[in-house]
Amino acid sequence: MSLRILRIELKRSVAPWSGVTVLVTALALLYLAGVARGTGTTAWTAQWTSLALWTRSLLAYLWPLAMGFGALQGLRDHRSKMSELLTSTPRPARHRAATLTGATALTLASAFALLVLVGGVQVLTNTEYAHLGWLPISLVGALSLVAAAVLGMGAGRALPSTLTPPALAMGAFVFTSLMYMSLGRTTTYTASGIPTTEPNQLSLLSPAVEQVRDVLLTLSAPVHVGQTVWLLGMATTGFALLIAATRRARLIALTPVLAGAVIALLVLPSDPRRMYVVDEAAAELVCDGPVCVTRTQQARLPDFADHGKEALRLLHGALGGRAPVSIRENAAVPPVGSTPHWSREKVLVDFDDDVIAAAQGKDLTRALIATAMVPGCSPLGLATVSANDTAARIIAAGWVLGDPKPLGAISLATRHFMALADPVWKELKALPRAEQLSRINAMHAAAISCKGDPFEVLSGGASR
């Protein structure tokens, strides 16, 4: 296929419009509708892997668009009533099909690359951690748009009806929705009996991926391989339908997509823990003395280490030998709904914790002390820190620093937490110093073990 022929095809087809529509729709979803943007460390422009995964999640909407445009392109010869004329020319059908699919593939791949570029420029300013682990995620995303368009072309050629493009687009949208909401998910129960859902193997047949819940999670290699096989089978079927001239040839053309689905299901993992895995390179710790962060957050280390060391010094002065000796970013990603496990020696922090994320300067030192004293035991990913735990944090940090202050920006919620903490704080400060220390140690033990209510312990109640 010469460049001259490709330029002509781009001028006389809907291929450029398909690329423009996909790009504009994606940017509108991100910037106007606020879809798939994330916040904090998982924002779509915070890290390279988050960028790749968030743009892949948009394929729930973009993939049906690509398939619909492909079907519209496949109807071109039928609409112009040139099918019989073209079959009588000496030029092989596969050459014409290659020109058609090549133009559309180029525009759709370019549109997706531009989308990634828009986010990538912002990622460069937000992180110092550069790697290529995100590239397979984006390459499979671009391939999925091309495969959808080529399959749509083949379907449009095989079923030359004005209803084919909208029917295919709607069918593709229903498919991606079902993979995300019902057919692609399995209901499970946490250790505490809370129902939750996990993606299953079928969900990986959709090009769209889960929303980013942790910056350290990425797709595993078997997922990339299985999805690539499935999408190549889809594209091969679309191309075969484009050049098929008989009903028998059209039936045979379905073989690649069916074989691709079977092979993909044999390759794709069935265990959710093998679908989304921790990126070991990203989770590697970078330390400044007793304070460590993962490589994704290494740009924060200089300022964070200063406040972390100060927090450890103050905790040692207040708790003595029972104080933690290090502060580390939590590099583990337990299942959603699981009960967290904490250590007395190490303070594990999450930069997406509202208290840590909003704190700067001396407020960060206070937030680290509060987190060290009461890390929180709410089920992971299902609930925020409870009101009782927040009040206990305020009291514990106030006891170490000398006075209780709100954690985070002043709001109705923080006023409520301060009102909850105030009478317990006054009661605690009225006790002899030895009794105060005893209650603080008991509260800390209950908070770390997740076997009691720290606030009730500070109030003089027994641990549950």
Mean pLDDT along residues 117-142: 95
CA distance 314 to 400: 7
* Total Cβ atoms within 10 A of residue 325: 13
Quote the pLDDT of residue 464: 35
Strand partners, 186: 198
Question: How does DSSP classify residue 336?
Answer: T
Q: Which whole number is the average pLDDT over 405-431?
A: 85
What average pLDDT does range 355-367 have in this prediction? Answer: 90
Return d(Cα 439, Cα 454) in angstroms, integer. 9
| Cβ contact 351:329 at 8 Å | yes
What letter does residue 95 receive in the DSSP assignment? H
Nearest CA to 53 among 210, 275, 227? 210
Which of 410, 408, 382 has its CA nearest to residue 195? 382
Provide the pLDDT for residue 5.
64
pLDDT above 60: residue 1 = no
The first and second tokens of residue 154, run together, are 């083949």
Token pair for 384: 């925020």
Paired tokens of 442 = 């008991």
Task: Please tell me the least confidently modeled range out of 268-272, 410-414, 440-444.
Answer: 410-414
In the predicted model, is pLDDT for residue 153 greater than 50?
yes
Instruction: Pick the closest to residue 332 from 349, 357, 307 (CA basis).
Output: 349
Contact 201, 269 (CB under 8 A): yes
Q: Quick one: what percent of the chain has pLDDT higher than 70?
A: 90
Sorted by sequence, the CB contacts under 8 Å of residue 175 that are 6+ apart come out as 206
Is residue 127 within 8 Å of 47, Cβ to Cβ?
Answer: yes
- The half-sphere exposure of 158 on its side-chain side, counting CA atoms within 13 A, is 24
> Of 349, 383, 282, nearest to 50 (Cα)?
282
Smallest CA-to-CA distance from 441 within 386, 378, 389, 374 is with 374
**Predicted local confidence at residue 310, as pLDDT:** 95
| pLDDT tens string 40-89 | 888 999 999 999 999 999 999 999 999 999 999 888 765 555 554 445 55
Among candidates 208, 252, 260, which has minimal Cα distance to 234? 260
Nearest to 387 by CA among 419, 427, 353: 419
Question: Taking 50 as the threshold, does the pLDDT of residue 158 lie above it?
Answer: yes
As a whole number of angstroms, the distance between CA 275 and CA 205 comes to: 12
Q: What's the CA gap between 445 and 126, in Å, rounded?
A: 38
Specify the pLDDT at position 86.
47
What amino acid occupies position 364?
Answer: L
Q: What is the pTM of this model?
A: 0.89
If you average pLDDT over residues 445-463, what whole number do you get? 82
Residue showing tokens 């391989």 = 225
Taking only the tens place, the pLDDT of each residue in 227-278 is 999 999 999 999 999 988 889 999 999 999 999 999 999 999 998 889 999 9
Q: What is the pLDDT of residues 177-205, one digit of tens each?
A: 999 887 888 887 766 677 778 889 999 99
Rounded CA-CA distance 289/301 in Å is: 11
Average pLDDT over every residue of 426-448: 91
430-437: average pLDDT: 91
Mean pLDDT of the residues in the chain: 88
Across the range 216-227, mean pLDDT stands at 96
Specify the pLDDT at position 197. 81
Q: Which residue has the higher pLDDT, 286 or 192?
A: 286
Instruction: State how far the Cα of 157 lies from the Cα of 71, in Å rounded to an integer.
Output: 8
Tell me which amino acid residue 334 is: P
Closest-CA residue to 385 (of 358, 355, 406, 363): 355
Report, as an integer, the average pLDDT of 99-125. Answer: 93
